Each structure stands twice: as structure tokens, then as C-alpha cells.
Structure 1
């Protein structure tokens, strides 16, 4: 997971952070091609609130619908565990990710100004949420 994150994200979660996401409040999901991990998602849930912590696809496997598959798994799992809302944040520059989230019904609910580091400064985090009450 850390190797994929390093190649897919400009500022990936550290190995220690990824390792800390394995516990009773977390769920992890993977997508494989020919037995090789090509992407993952990590979610965190406390009672009715679930948060997508990370979703990541190896660069060579992007554009194959794997991100959609992972997001669908996260949404289904959160719903089955009683979540009412799924939250996430995404870099302002994450155009493809934002398009995926919007297509799945997420709406922008706020911003964190200058939250993410970039090579030459910072960029906003866009806060999004999806109601799971249907």
C-alpha cells in the first residue's frame, strides 16, 4: 500500500500512518489485477459518521474503473455498518478524484485553506460528503 501511495500521490501517507489505519474503527479495501495489488481505500467509522481516509490507484492502473470499484465498496461497507454520512477531503488539484466523487453524489461542503502542501506552497482541501440515508 505504501509503495502504491508513494507512486500515486505527491505527498503520500507515511508507512507509519498507513499501519495505524488497521484497527477496529478502520476498514481497508484492495483491488487486484492478476494477483497484484493495484489500489486501495481506507475508511474510518465512528457510529453514524464514516470518513474515506485515502483512496489510491497505481498510476499504471488508473483509468480502468478501479477507483470507482473501491469507492463503491467503501460506500456499501459504510452503509451496511450503519453510517448515515460518508465524509472525505480532496486536494483542490485532484480533478479526476473530484469528478468521481461528484458523479457518485458527493457534494462540496467546505474548504480548508492552504491545508495540503505542494511543491511550491500549499493548496486547499475540499471537504465533501455523501448522505447514505436512502
Structure 2
């Protein structure tokens, strides 16, 4: 997971942070092709609130529908576990991700100015949520 994140994100979660996401309040999802992990999603859920902590597809597999499959699995799973709302934040520059989230019914609810690091500074986060 850490390797895929390092390939797909400019500032990925560290391996230790990813490892910390395997407790009882977290769910992990993976998508495989020929027994090779192509991408993953990590969700944190407390009662009726679920947060998509990360969703990541290997660059070689992007554009193949894996992100949509993962997101649909996340939505179904947290709904089955009693979530009423799924929250996420995404880089303002993440146009493909934002488009996917909107197609799945997420609504933009706010911004965090300068939240994400970039090679030359910071960029805003867009906050989104989906009522389940």
C-alpha cells in the first residue's frame, strides 16, 4: 500500500501512518488484478460518520475504473455498517477524483486553505460529503 501511495501521490501517507489504519475503527479495501494490488482505500468510521482517509490507484492502473469500483465498495460497506454520511477531502487540483466523487453523489461542503503540501507550497483541500 505504501509503495502504491508513493507512486500515486506527491505527498503520500507514510508507511507507519498506513499501518496505524488497521485498528477496529478502520476498514481497508483493495482492488487486485492477477493477484497484484492495483489500489486501496482506507476508511475510518465512528458510529454514523465515516471518513475516506485515502483512496489510491497505482499510476499504471489509473483510468481503468478501479477507483470507481473501490469507491462503490466503500459506500456500500459503510452504509451496511450504519454510516449516515461519508466525508472526504481532496486536493483542489484532483480534477479526476473530484469528478468521480461528484458522479457518485458527493457534494462540496467547504475548503481548507493551504491544507495540502505541494512541491512549491500548498494547495487547498475541497471538503465533500455523501449522505447515505
Question: What TM-score do you get using the length of structure 2 for normalisation?
Answer: 0.99
SS in 2 for 1:10: coil
The alignment of Structure 1 onto Structure 2 pairs a total of residues equal to: 132
Partner of 2:102: 102
Shift of 1:36: 0.3
| TM-score normalised by length of structure 1 | 0.98
1:81 aligned residue = 81
Distance 1:42 1:56 in 2: 9
Partner of 2:38: 38
SS of the residue aligned with 1:127? Answer: strand
Per-residue CA distance 1:12-62 (angstroms, 9 max, x = gap): 000000000001000000000000000000000000000000000000000
Give the CA deviation at 1:121.
0.6
1:98 deviation in Å? Answer: 0.3
Task: Supply the distance in 1 between the matched residues of 2:97 and 2:20 (Cα, whole angstroms).
Answer: 24
2:47 corresponds in structure 1 to 47
User: Please, which runs of 5 or more residues in structure 2 have no aligned partner?
Assistant: none
Distance 1:102 1:56 in 2: 17
Q: How does 1:105-124 map to 2 (within 5 A)?
A: 105-124=105-124
Paired residue for 2:2?
2
Give the superposed CA RMSD: 0.3
Which residue does the alignment assign to 2:15?
Answer: 15
Runs of 4+ in structure 1 deviating by more than 4 angstroms, as ranges, are none
Gaps in structure 1 of 5+ consecutive residues = none
